[in-house]
Amino acid sequence: MSDQFDPGISSSPRLLCRQASLAVLVCFHLLTVSPVFAGAQNKPPVPTHSEQTAQAETIESLRLRIATHISQPRFAAAQWGIKIVSLDTGKLIFEHNPQKYFSPASNAKLYTAALALERLGTDYRIKTSLYSTSRPNASGTLKADLIVYGRGDPTMAARLNGGDYFKGLEPLITQLVNAGVRRIEGDLVGDESYFAGPPFGSGWEWDDLQAYYGAEASALTVNDNAIDVFVKPAERIGMPCKITTGPMTSYVTFINRTQTAARGSDTAVTVYRPVGENHVFVTGRVAIDSANGYYTALAVHNPAGLFVSTLKDAMAARGISVTGRTRVIDWKYREVTPINFDKLIELGSVESMPLGEIIRETLKPSQNLYAQLLLLQVGAKQGMGVGGQGSVKEPATLTPNPQPPTPVTYSTTEEAGVASMNDFLETVGVKKGDVLLEEGSGLSRRDVITPQATVSLLSYVNRSRWADTFRNALPIAGVDGTLQNRMKGTAAAGNVRAKTGSLRYVYTLSGYVATSAGEHLAFSIMLNNYYNAERSAALRDPQAAGRPQPAPRDDLDAIAIMLAGFTGRSQ
């Protein structure tokens, strides 16, 4: 489970829990720093409000408030890791277990995004090419296969094109039209061999791979390598429900074992796609009077096949027919049959949006697929002799490697990307071994980092030439991304820019905040191995709920709110 399991959307009970949490913090603050509660027998003169504030707002009092918050009994079995520093003075604000390992969840994306910006640059674009061994004749017929050669562009997606499933492919089709192609008497071939290695990130678990947030990575990616599935009631009780997809596709086969239930029935639907298959079993029921039915986003197997299938449908809508079949070529095929660009004609190509914008579309919604593709993009550019790529000779017109090629041979592009990450972190000043990432998204439970390393990274980013691009790509508290519905109505709203992260029992928040005094801070807050039995019981049975318990993300937010409202300074 990644951020998508806890996307930051507050229901009314959660909002009440958040208010209760903040009320508790206010009580702690008053008991800790207010002189009103001390010396009841021999009261000294009551300080003015400004004097109280001056006494309260010190680094020491802030540290005490944070320490009090994380020392609550309900965290006894959990582990906190925190590091907060001033970007203005370099001074330490607070730390707790700063050099211990923590599971970062999607905080890992901070590292991947910084690596991509450092190695590739904000203006870098990803190219997708249309190749063939010949040109179309005078009547527009291409008597050869058409090869779509992908290099990992993630942006041909409905969510980036107004919800239109086919619009992201339109520029490719326009290139075909401009090349004079009206009919293809050959196969439509999706070549995804630019990346070598399995389609899953190292350490991804099987029960994540059906969900959209566990979508397979491919050099040919379309609509986030997932399809939307809608289950609606039929016209009569007892009939199978209606299943539709977005886009409509024959690439995935559905086995419908659902039933339309009586009015007022609860909707209960299960969608199961076995790993490595595109046969989907849908079971359960939907009430006949259900207005919304059931919806899920389902990752597909072999997304390069979905790419060429969707492209073929879009081409047909533009009047371009394909008489052959659709098929996919991967890196294992290219190990024995290398692609020879010298014998191919590029009929057209398209480029992605600039990398700076891709970073924004990765960090704000916490998009796992995009993060993994960014790591692979760096690996493909930096690594030499990766799998089948050792024999791939790219055309000279492509952007040259920004770094000298390394003589090291890697078995996968991911491995090359991780090696580049480790080299980058050395230049950042992160202690060797403080960051152990195996993939780019944070979905792996084997990833571990330290709060110290994350703050070192954030401090480096703050000094980098692409600092503004990185900051602007982070979710903003109370405004957008995975922080859209968090910290609203507090000093942190519109102020905190941070990356969220969540797996089961893992909650993280790292980024930047400006204090009320105008001091700029970098922080990393990690809570691992946390389970609140009272909260879980209340969620299962609200009627039996006792005192409201805050959501784990509210416990992290409470610290960010303290920082945003702090009126003291580190000097």
- Residue 377, CB-side half-sphere exposure with 13 Å CA sphere: 32
CATH, domain range 127-351: 3.50.80.20
Stated pTM of the model: 0.87
- Whether residue 395 is preceded by a cis peptide bond, meaning omega within 30 degrees of 0, is no
pLDDT at residue number 343: 95
| H helix count then E strand count, the chain | 14, 21
Q: What is the pLDDT of residue 8?
A: 37
Domain ranges of the chain: 3-27+50-119+412-563, 127-351
User: Which strands, in side-by-side order, build the sheet including 188-191?
Assistant: 326-329, 188-191, 146-149, 127-132, 345-351
Q: What pLDDT is recorded for position 28? A: 36
Q: Quick one: pLDDT at residue 543?
A: 64
Q: Which two tokens stand for residue 386?
A: 């990766």
Closest of 186, 524, 213, 263 to residue 371, by C-alpha: 213
- What CA–CA distances, in Å, run from 424 to 378, 403, 429, 504? 11, 12, 9, 29
**Cα distance between residue 34 and residue 168, in whole Å:** 59
As assigned by CATH, the class of the 3-27+50-119+412-563 domain is alpha beta
For residue 107, the model assigns a pLDDT of 98
Of the candidates 366, 527, 268, the one whose C-alpha atom is nearest the C-alpha of residue 1 is 366
* 10-residue mean pLDDT series, the chain (571 residues): 43 37 37 32 41 66 97 96 98 98 98 98 98 97 98 97 97 97 98 97 95 97 98 97 96 98 96 96 97 96 98 97 97 94 97 98 98 97 56 48 58 95 96 97 98 98 98 98 98 98 97 97 98 75 68 96 96 78
Which of these, 65, 106, 193, 177, lies nearest to 439 by C-alpha position?
A: 106
Closest CA to 145 of 178, 180, 190, 182: 190
pLDDT for 31 equals 34
